[in-house]
Amino acid sequence: GDSVTQMEGPVTLSEEAFLTINCTYTATGYPSLFWYVQYPGEGLQLLLKATKADDKGSNKGFEATYRKETTSFHLEKGSVQVSDSAVYFCAGWSSTLGRLYFGRGTQLTVWP
């Protein structure tokens, strides 16, 4: 079935470090892909999305490129801040099931 696999955490970085969180998908066809972020004590919120191959989603300095050759949608940020500390979820849309499917989440902690 459709699924996403994202790197396990926790990820701990110093402020201004480069961030990559890996996400790969398994699906029939080419699903829309998403990154959601959950800040402490809050629900999830959409960070960025891409709807087709080679699309790049971007928001708040984060980027992810939809690569069908490697079935990947890795999240990157060039210089993380303490305020980026959160749990990040990769997700895909299943047209077969008619709903989103989520990865297990990656906890990011950024130290000053």
Partner 1 sequence: DVKVTQSSRYLVKRTGEKVFLECVQDMDHENMFWYRQDPGLGLRLIYFSYDVKMKEKGDIPEGYSVSREKKERFSLILESASTNQTSMYLCASSLQSGPYEQYFGPGTRLTVT
Q: Which residues bind partner 1 (CB under 8 A)?
A: 31-32, 34, 41-46, 49, 51, 89, 93, 98-100, 102-105
Residue 1 and residue 19: Cα distance in Å, rounded? 29
Instruction: State the minimum distance, in angstroms, from the CB of residue 50 to partner 1.
Output: 10
Instruction: State the minimum distance, in angstroms, from the CB of residue 79 to partner 1.
Output: 26
Instruction: State the minimum distance, in angstroms, from the CB of residue 83 to partner 1.
Output: 18
Q: Which CA distances in Å does 6 have to 54, 71, 88? A: 19, 12, 9
Closest CA to 47 of 25, 73, 8, 16: 73
| Nearer CB in complex with partner 1: 103/110 | 103
Q: Which CA distances in Å does 7 have to 96, 99, 104, 105, 112? A: 25, 22, 9, 8, 23
| Nearer CB in complex with partner 1: 63/102 | 102
Instruction: State the minimum distance, in angstroms, from the CB of residue 12 to partner 1.
Output: 17
| Nearer CB in complex with partner 1: 43/112 | 43
| Nearer CB in complex with partner 1: 15/29 | 29
Closest CA to 63 of 81, 80, 47, 75: 75
